[in-house]
């Protein structure tokens, strides 16, 4: 069974932005959408293992800071060259002002 882990406070991430979260030897990216929903994906780009949290969030897209690979952070879908491998996504919930993600 996977556990829910507290990643940050809901207010730690601006709307339409992203934050890095490291846990148990893995790195994740936590997103807050323009509609104030929260999402989580693997933290590293599937192209060259760069931290996505340094990238730019526009609407439902995260763009890798290194080579502009784009993903839909809600679904993990790669959106064309140079990325072709989707990101793994993780369930997220907000509870009492805390953002929790279900890792593993």
Partner 1 sequence: MTGGMVIIGAGECGGRAALALRDLGYEGPVTLVGDEPHLPYERPPLSKEAMTGEAPLIKAIASDELLAERSIRHIHSVRAVAIDRAGHAVSLSDSSSLSYDKLLLATGSLPRKLPMPGLGGRCVYLRTFNDALAIRAHLKPENRVAIIGGGFIGLELAASARKLGATVTVIEAQPRILMRGVPAEIAEIIHKAHEAEGVNVLTGQGITAIADDGAEVRITLAGGQEVVADLAVIGIGAVPVTALAADAGLAIDNGIAVDGTLRTEDPDIFAAGDCCSFPLAVYGGRRVRLEAWRNAQEQGALAATNMLGANEAHAAVPWFWSDQYGLTLQIAGLSDEGRSIVRRDLDDGAFILFHLAEDGRLVAASGIGPGNAVARDIRLAEMLIAKRATPAPDALGSQTVKLKSLLAA
Q: What is the binding site for partner 1 (CB under 8 A)?
A: 16, 50-51, 54-56, 63, 65-68, 80-82
Rounded Cα distance, 84 and 32, in Å: 24
Q: Closer to partner 1 by CB, 86 or 102: give it.
A: 86
Q: Closer to partner 1 by CB, 69 or 100: give it.
A: 69
Return phi, psi of residue 39, to 5°: -140, 160
Give least dist CB 53 to partner 1, A: 9
Give least dist CB 34 to partner 1, A: 11
Rounded Cα distance, 18 and 43, in Å: 10
Residue 10 is given by DSSP the state G
């Amino acid at each position: 069974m996977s556990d829910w882990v507290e990643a940050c406070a809901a207010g730690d991430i601006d709307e339409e932005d992203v934050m890095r979260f490291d846990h148990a030897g893995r790195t994740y990216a936590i997103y807050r959408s323009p509609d104030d929903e929260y999402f989580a994906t693997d933290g590293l780009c599937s192209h060259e293992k760069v931290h996505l949290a340094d990238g730019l969030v526009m609407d439902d897209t995260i763009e890798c800071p290194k080579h502009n690979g784009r993903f839909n952070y809600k679904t993990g879908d790669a959106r064309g060259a140079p990325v072709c491998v989707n990101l793994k996504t993780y369930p997220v919930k907000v509870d009492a002002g805390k953002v929790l993600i279900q890792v593993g």
